[in-house]
Amino acid sequence: MFRTIMRITMLGTGTSMPDSTRVQSGALVETQSQRVLVDIGSGVLHRLAQIDFNFTSLDAVFITHFHVDHCSDFMTLLQTLWMSGFDKALSVYGPPMIEDWLQALRDSAFPYLAAKIELRVHPLSIGETVVSGDLKVTNTETLHGTMDTRALRIEDDDSVALFSSDTAPSQRVIDLARGADILIHECNWLDGPHPEGVHTSPGELARIVQEVAPRLLALTHVSPEVVADRDSVLQQISAETDARVVMSEDLMQL
């Protein structure tokens, strides 16, 4: 296990398709003072329950974009917080449409939850840095079709982690990732013909990790075909970097 002061638990490492061993996207970032979720796709709450997470300790949720596999457990989270006696404001960050998204969910779809949990909603401007306790979080826009999607650089005093979210190879993401100790990057499909500007393949990721030069590269958002070809994928990328390269599993700690 790669240890830093900042502890990251990969809660969901799969894609938008159901998988018997990987739920949808989500990660828990913990420091001495903060408990922060990065994305909250379907199944993430169950993974939190598996690690006996104290839901009342949660400080913030960052939603990188509004494809359902990155945000579909959010309203279930609010129900869980309400029933757990959560008694503080929850900070929620995301691209600008987060305000309309939350209004539609709370006021129209689930009005009974609208007043149960106080939310401090913060739409993220591209390049903005926000502070959550002892964490500093900077975002940039990724390259993911037409969806406004944000990569997140999360720092404490001792370490830096970069969450790519969903993206094709992006110079903006590479630039934000420079100097990161841990690069958590999607690898949605194998090399070969695929739509441009949506996701990243192993060959593309090998070139990205050369530029970023992290100490640890953790692949996530991995499809069944990538998982089935695990050994060759990891060998292909490892041949281009001195970084330790791992394929994330649900509940893996980094």
pLDDT tens-digit map of 185-202: 999 999 998 888 899 999
Q: How many helices (H) and strands (E) does the chain have?
A: 7, 14
Q: How wide is the angle at C-alpha 56 spanned by C-alphas 101 and 151, nearest 5°? A: 45
Burial 84-123 (b: 16+ CB within 10 A, else e): eebeeebbbbbbeebeebbeebbeeeeeebeeebeeeebe
152 pLDDT band, cuts 50/70/90, is very high
pTM for the structure as a whole: 0.96
Cα 88 to Cα 196: distance, rounded to the nearest angstrom: 43
Q: Are 107 and 114 in contact (CB under 8 A)?
A: yes
Q: How many other β-carbons are positioned within 10 Å of the β-carbon of residue 79?
A: 15
Cα 92 to Cα 98: distance, rounded to the nearest angstrom: 9
pLDDT at 245 > cutoff 60: yes
Burial of 136 (0-12, 13-18, 19+ CB in 10 A): middle
Q: How wide is the angle at C-alpha 149 spanned by C-alphas 119 and 17, nearest 5°? A: 95
4 pLDDT band, cuts 50/70/90, is very low
Write phi, then psi, for 185 (nearest 5 degrees): -125, 140
| Range 7-253: architecture per CATH | 4-Layer Sandwich (3.60)
3 pLDDT band, cuts 50/70/90, is very low
Beta strands in 15-100 (DSSP E): 26-30, 35-40, 60-62, 90-94
Q: How many other β-carbons are positioned within 10 Å of the β-carbon of residue 139?
A: 26
Q: Where are the domains of the chain?
A: 7-253
Query: What mean pLDDT is predicted for residues 31-45?
Result: 97
78 pLDDT band, cuts 50/70/90, is very high
Query: What mean pLDDT is predicted for residues 110-133?
Result: 96
